[in-house]
Chain A
């Protein structure tokens, strides 16, 4: 019954998406209002069908209806309700169904918010997104069908992977990452629409920026939560390992970041249109590549789903999307004429160009390193690894250069800068740079790269704060307004600028924390008897004893430690060892004790019952919690930048009413 209904919903969504794709293209070509209306309706219908199919699967999972193949595959009578609910995205077929729901939601939202947008590119945009919808709906209908009937229904199932069951982060990390991946369909569709319609006006640039930024925010949260989950669960003391699947999520983030910046040049100066659209298309294609990497079984990774046969289907889709994008770009990029020339060697524009160059180089480097083992195997027949040392060697200089650019760029004026302005920009953040480097030196950092990174970070933090607060500061000085009121009125007038500086601040915090935690980290491996202690970083840990609890599917062994500094105990930490009855090797759960200066990270390697000896790895990871905080700040910044300001929304309303001056195309907007 559920199986049939689910299949029907999915088949209907294939039909809706196909009709919508054709409708959108037809409406774009003919400009017909009724074709447009029908395309919009089909977009809402597609979203509804996908959401209904997901709700149905949720019902099967929670009701433990094992006559549905996916519920039988991941369900288990023994797991609590919330685990059953989130196991929708714990395995391949379900995650693709869930993917379809997010896709539908994004398409419907873009359609809804632009229902009155007159841009000729919009019908094309919605049609393109629906064409992507056809592929995913087809995938759910055929190769990754989660609604296959199982007869006879098994009495019980194995339950989801234990590693995915033991942390709450696993509940929110995948949806965030999926939204960050799937959402890129919106900027992609809009960019394709722009290319097909041959225009990139203000009414297209606005939704383009909005949806790129929204999805960028989700992707940022998804990536950071993934690192956080690995850190809290996997027990090797780190959060990022340059694993193929991690790289796959970083690639679209890098190009999306580059596109957000070059989009600003399109909006303000009317230059780099073709390049920006290329970046946006590349971002979407990289999300598809990333999905392929996770699900094809071609890459060797901790995160990859088990071997599956949807790989070839995905690769075909990727190849088609790539060829389409390249063909479209080469055919239509000539239409996207720049409205102005680039000039001035040291303006903020050139800082944006260098930013794009560095981000794209980083993208290509990470991509190269990730697929290189496959290249070598194809050419020489031997298998090699490209691991952390390579990526660190390449990414660190690029990262430091980007950090420095985040300082010097905002300090540069638009247009052409004279030598004096350049000089002023180059020294503007020096106090910040000196302070950060000094703090590093005082705390025992002797690593040259770290000191350079700290100096660049300090430079950028100072310039960012100055630039963000300058208008409020000026008001306060000039008008005697109280500083908070000055800040509030600044925000009400243009939160977008402020938002972007807040994002910068968050990213800078992340960069500095990553630099510090990866170079100043200390570790110690110990075997301890009861009462013995060890030292890691500035803290001591004393082994107090163990206690075990039996659960349904595992025995949890808690190893208790007292944490102390200079002999004063201030906390207890309890890393665990989980003995799953179905597995030989026990799985540890580390304990992370976070302090503002860093984390004390204890991970149990072994527990010997007879001798009472525990094997322990302890890490002192400086500043790690700042990474999570920095990500939070960056997301707040993105929300701020998306918040419609009073002035702008009022102006937009006025603009809509009086069918504005003919010069409102973004190209001319740049003075």
Chain B
């Protein structure tokens, strides 16, 4: 029965709206809510593509978490169909989303508005990347400094061995264990392989 109803609705879409008066009332209401169509009327393949794009920005009110583009529920299908009609009439993406928002609330927006507290959402990740990048750059730089007075002799370089032969043997053994280098000697010196 639901299916038949959906089909009827589909057919009525093809055959034109149920009544001119109904259509007129709705048009007036739309203009009052979101203003006159802001774009140009779409048709054909472009209309289909935009319908899917705009619908993916509108959250389905009755299903959990999916957009009206994806959801098979009747409500989502109706809303997607209306999106299709509105795009064909020349309404813009923001106007259509705004129309649904006025009825259902801000919750309908899959992509949150970028104002007020929502700015946090966009700004924080950028700040983390910038701050972290700066931190890494600084720690690399500061790590370089103590390396400069190498003559101080406290930190052996990566391929140097300690002077004490016993300790040197232990280090070589450790390198062999840790990296699988035969004899603890980096194959880098003998072959082009790294690490």
Q: Which residues of A contact B (CB under 8 A)?
A: 235-238, 241, 243-244, 267-268, 300-302, 340-345, 348, 350, 353-354, 357-358, 360-361, 364-365, 368-369, 372, 375-376, 379-380, 382-390, 393-394, 410, 413-415, 467, 470-471, 474, 478, 493-494, 497, 523, 527, 584-585, 588, 603, 605-608, 610-611, 613, 615, 617, 645, 647-648, 651, 655, 661-664, 668-671
Contacts and interface: CB of A to CB of B under 8 A. Distances in A.
A158 B144 CA distance: 68
A350 B129 CA distance: 15
B52 to A, nearest CB: 7
A615 B191 CA distance: 64
Contacts of A651: 176-177
Given A301-B65, A389-B111, 8 more contacts: A300-B64, A361-B125, A364-B125, A384-B107, A386-B121, A387-B67, A607-B3, A669-B178
B139 A610 contact: no
Interface string B89-117: 00000000000000001111111110011
Contacts of B174: 661, 663-664, 668-669
Contact of B180 (A343, A615, A648, A663): A648
A385 B110 contact: yes
Contacts, number: 193
Contact of B112 (A236, A340, A379, A386): A386
Given A382-B106, A414-B194, A493 B180 contact: yes
B132 interface: yes
B31 interface: no
Contacts of A340: 155
Closest 8 pairs between A and B when the two form their complex, measured CB to CB: A387-B110, A661-B170, A342-B143, A389-B111, A606-B3, A341-B143, A236-B70, A357-B132
Contact of A384 (B109, B159, B180): B109
Contacts of B56: 388-389
A380 B105 CA distance: 13
A385 B108 CA distance: 7
Contacts of B171: 663, 668, 671
A394 B125 contact: yes
A365 B111 CA distance: 14
6 contacts: A302-B65, A372-B120, A384-B109, A585-B73, A647-B180, A671-B175
B70 A238 contact: yes
B57 to A, nearest CB: 6
B24 to A, nearest CB: 29
Contacts of B38: none
A645 to B, nearest CB: 8
A536 to B, nearest CB: 13
Nearest to B57: A389
Interface in B163-195: 167, 169-171, 173-178, 180, 188, 191-195
Contacts of B159: 671
Contacts of B146: 341
A474 B147 contact: no
A353 B139 CA distance: 10
Contacts of A387: 59, 65, 67, 109-111
Contacts of A241: 65-66, 70
Nearest to A494: B180
Interface of B: 2-4, 6-7, 10, 52, 56-57, 59, 63-67, 70-73, 77, 105-113, 116-118, 120-121, 124-125, 128-129, 132-133, 136-137, 139-140, 143-144, 146-147, 155, 158-159, 167, 169-171, 173-178, 180, 188, 191-195
Contact of B124 (A360, A364, A410): A364
A343 B118 contact: no
B191 A474 contact: yes
A385 B59 contact: yes
A361 B129 contact: yes
A181 to B, nearest CB: 21
B135 to A, nearest CB: 8
Contacts of A350: 136, 140
Contacts of A357: 129, 132-133, 136
B4 A610 contact: yes
B150 to A, nearest CB: 11
A470 B193 contact: yes
B57 A343 contact: no
A584 B2 contact: yes
Among B10, B57, B64, B113, max chain A CB count under 10 A is at: B64
B72 A588 contact: yes
Among B116, B125, B133, max chain A CB count under 10 A is at: B125
B128 A662 contact: no
A414 B195 contact: yes
B162 to A, nearest CB: 9
B56 to A, nearest CB: 7
A467 B194 CA distance: 8
Contacts of B178: 267-268, 669-670
Nearest to B186: A671
Contact of A368 (B6, B107, B125, B144): B125
A527 B10 contact: yes
B69 to A, nearest CB: 9
A361 B132 contact: yes
Nearest to B77: A605
A588 B180 CA distance: 55
Contact of B170 (A237, A380, A648, A663): A663
Given A341-B146, A413-B194, A662-B170, A385 B180 contact: no
Contacts of A343: 140, 143-144, 147
Among B10, B144, B177, max chain A CB count under 10 A is at: B177
A611 B140 contact: no
Contact of B71 (A236, A344, A365, A471): A236
Contacts of B59: 385, 387
A353 B140 CA distance: 10
A608 B136 contact: no
A514 to B, nearest CB: 17
Contacts of A389: 56-57, 110-111
B110 A344 contact: no
A472 to B, nearest CB: 10
Contacts of A617: 72
Contacts of B65: 241, 243-244, 300-302, 387
A406 to B, nearest CB: 15
A610 B8 CA distance: 13
B128 A361 contact: yes
A566 B103 CA distance: 47
B128 A360 contact: yes
Nearest to A271: B143
Given A384-B118, A608-B4, A365 B125 contact: yes
Nearest to A372: B121
A663 B167 contact: yes
B132 A474 contact: no
Contacts of A237: 70
A380 B117 contact: yes
B141 to A, nearest CB: 8
Contacts of A380: 116-117
B125 A384 contact: no
A385 B97 CA distance: 13
Contacts of B175: 669, 671
Contacts of A358: 129
B125 A235 contact: no
Contacts of B107: 382-385
A410 B193 CA distance: 11
Contact of B7 (A244, A467, A606): A606
Nearest to A383: B107
A413 B189 CA distance: 13
Contacts of B118: 376, 384
Contacts of B140: 342-345, 350, 353
